[in-house]
Amino acid sequence: MSTYSPNEIMTIAASRLLTNDDVCFVGIGAPSAACNLARLTHSPKITLIYESGTLSTRPTVLPLSIGDGELCDTALTTVSVPEMFRYWLQGGRITVGFLGGAQIDRFANLNTTVVGPYDQPKVRLPGGGGAPEIAIHCGQIFIIMAMGQRAFMDKLPFITSLGHGTGKGSREALGVKTRGPTRLITDLCVFEPDADTSELTVTSIHPGVTRDQIQANCGWPVKFAASTVETPAPSELELTVLRDLQARTKAAHAA
């Protein structure tokens, strides 16, 4: 059996959620790696959209930012940012938003704004960009993040992007009609919102990972589904394609 890193199984498990029929709004970083791995393996017809307005882009290397020329060069077309958000996103034409974040809470709300108090933060983060709009207008949201006590918090200092608010019904109370986060893929396990409470609940544990490890890396008491399963290990094809993509990216950005 092939050896693989926690980051590799996280990326691969995330990529498996995507299909040929998806129109996916892609975040930079881990979301981009997962989405392009899906495109290069089981979902070659997936439509990938980036915030800069690139439609059906097919990058050969992973972009450094939404302004990376690789996205425009390999896109079917590029539209203006106002058109991207007003027509495509707010128009309900995007099935999946794929996001990451600096911090997350048990209801899948994301913080990408500050660490610590807003008025006197320990760290000022990059901010929301288009993520707050993506979080409420895409049909559903997948989130990919590595676990750790500083990232998985009982209470966020700031909510940048809405998940399930304070629990079941919070989105609907705000007039939001989309499903919100349906999967949180981490380097240790996969979470899904509980049907009754919308609290993130572990439904799949990666091979070799224990429940104690998951709890040790989470800032709230973790709930496990009664039917928790083991995440299928990465295949040789998935690992090969992912590693080739990352090697090409490293070489291109080092030039």
pLDDT digits (tens, 9 = 90+) for 146-176: 999 999 999 999 999 999 999 999 999 999 9
In a domain, 1, yes or no: no
Q: Which residues neighbour 222 within 8 Å (Cβ) at sequence distance 6 or greater?
A: 202, 211, 214, 215
Taking alpha carbons only, the member of 171, 173, 158, 174 closest to residue 182 is 171
> What's the token pair of residue 228?
């928790």
pLDDT on residue 254: 86
Strands 47-50 and 23-26: parallel
Quick one: average pLDDT of 80-86? 95
Provide the domain limits for residue 215.
6-254
- The span from the CA of 85 to the CA of 59, in Å, is 21
CATH number at residue 79: 3.40.1080.10
- pLDDT digits 0-9 by tens, 172-207: 999 999 999 999 999 999 999 999 999 999 999 999
233 secondary structure, DSSP code: P
Using the predicted structure, report yes or no on whether residue 105 has a pLDDT greater than 90: yes
Using the predicted structure, report yes or no on whether residue 32 has a pLDDT greater than 70: yes
> Terminal CA-to-CA distance of the chain, rounded, Å?
34
Cβ-count burial 187-199 (b if 16+ within 10 Å, e if not): bbbbbbbbeeebb
Quick one: average pLDDT of 118-142? 94
Quick one: average pLDDT of 78-104? 96
199 annotated active-site: no
In a domain, 77, yes or no: yes
Query: Confidence class of residue 255 from pLDDT cuts 50, 70 and 90?
Result: low
Taking alpha carbons only, the member of 194, 190, 197 closest to residue 229 is 190
Query: Confidence class of residue 2 from pLDDT cuts 50, 70 and 90?
Result: confident
In a domain, 242, yes or no: yes
Catalytic residue (one of 8, 51, 70, 238): 51
What's the chain's average pLDDT?
A: 96
Q: What is the pTM of this model?
A: 0.96
Q: Which residue has the tokens 């995330």?
A: 14
Q: How many domains does the chain have?
A: 1
In a domain, 136, yes or no: yes
